[in-house]
Amino acid sequence: MTKPRVAVLISGRGSNMMSLIEAAAAPGFPVEIAVVISNRPDAHGLARAQACNIPTRSLDHKAFPDRAAFDAALDAVLEEEQVTLVCLAGFMRLLTSGFTQKWAGRMINIHPALLPSFKGLHTHERALAEGVKIHGATVHFVTAEMDVGPIIMQAAVPVLEADTPDTLAARVLAQEHVIYPAALRLVAEGRARLDGARVAIDEFEITPPALVVPPAP
């Protein structure tokens, strides 16, 4: 049986992309990573995907007159590649509402914060500045508004007294790599269903929809 074809969209180093590629390589994972697309031709993740024999496409956003033209080209690539699910993995570009509507329920994103806190950029710096004691990452369905959308899975990590943005980012990133493949599996298997503004999780047996990672000893 052929598996649903997933596109992973990146802009940079692609560590979350790698976590999806590695998960999908395991027997029994319900999707195939069909293509990796970057809006930056120099994204390091492109070479990493190629090293795993995943087809890549580069769509330089600077070559398009506006967001609508870029999104139309992106949509054309997704159709051409017969993609049914899209994973944004460090894809640092706003998408038009037409595009997000077309892919509603079929496009997910990972964000390095416990949404709805700390939408946008520099989440780790802002978490430290606010003095929060718990931080984390969220996988959610993409809607027209940036970093807003029904939450599929979250991981929470402690914020330690000695943390810098880099040490906190590393702790969060390790959990991103756990929850993104797990959330993709739930969506692909039809076990994470959109239910209005929230996500209903069916028959949850394998990984909890929320991970709470204990502080380091």
54 token code pair? 């995943």
User: What distances in angstroms separate CA 195 from CA 56, 156, 175, one per listed residue?
Assistant: 33, 23, 26
173 binds ligand GAR (CB under 6 A): yes
User: Which of these ranges, 27-35, 70-78, 108-116, 125-133, lies near ligand GAR under the rule CB under 6 A?
Assistant: 108-116
Q: Is residue 53 marked as binding?
A: no
Which residue, 112 or 209, is less far from ligand GAR as judged by CB?
112
Q: Provide the CB-side half-sphere exposure for 178 (13 A, CA).
A: 21
110 binds ligand GAR (CB under 6 A): yes
Question: Residue type for 140, please?
Answer: H
User: Which of these ranges, 5-13, 51-59, 152-160, 198-206, lies near ligand GAR under the rule CB under 6 A?
Assistant: 5-13
Q: Quote the CA–CA distance of 21 and 15 in Å, as a whole number.
A: 10
Whole-number minimum distance, CB 41 to ligand GAR, in Å?
15
Among 212, 36, 216, 44, which residue's Cα sits nearest to residue 137?
212
187 token code pair? 């969506």
Question: Residue type for 59, please?
Answer: L
209 binds ligand GAR (CB under 6 A): no
Q: Quote the CA–CA distance of 133 and 162 in Å, as a whole number.
A: 12
User: What is the CB neighbour count within 10 angstroms for residue 171?
Assistant: 22
Applying CB under 6 A, among 14, 136, 181, 209 the residue interacting with ligand GAR is 14
Between 19 and 48, how does the x/- string for binding to ligand GAR read (CB under 6 A)? Answer: --------------------------x---
140 binds ligand GAR (CB under 6 A): no
- Does 122 participate in catalysis according to the annotation? no
Q: Is the distance from CB of 35 to CB of 70 less than 8 angstroms? A: no
Query: Which of the residues 44, 61, 111, 140 is marked catalytic?
Result: 111
Which residues form the interface with ligand GAR (CB under 6 A)? 10, 12-16, 45, 89-90, 110-112, 147, 173, 176
**Binding-site entries for (6R)-10-formyltetrahydrofolate:** 67, 92-95, 109
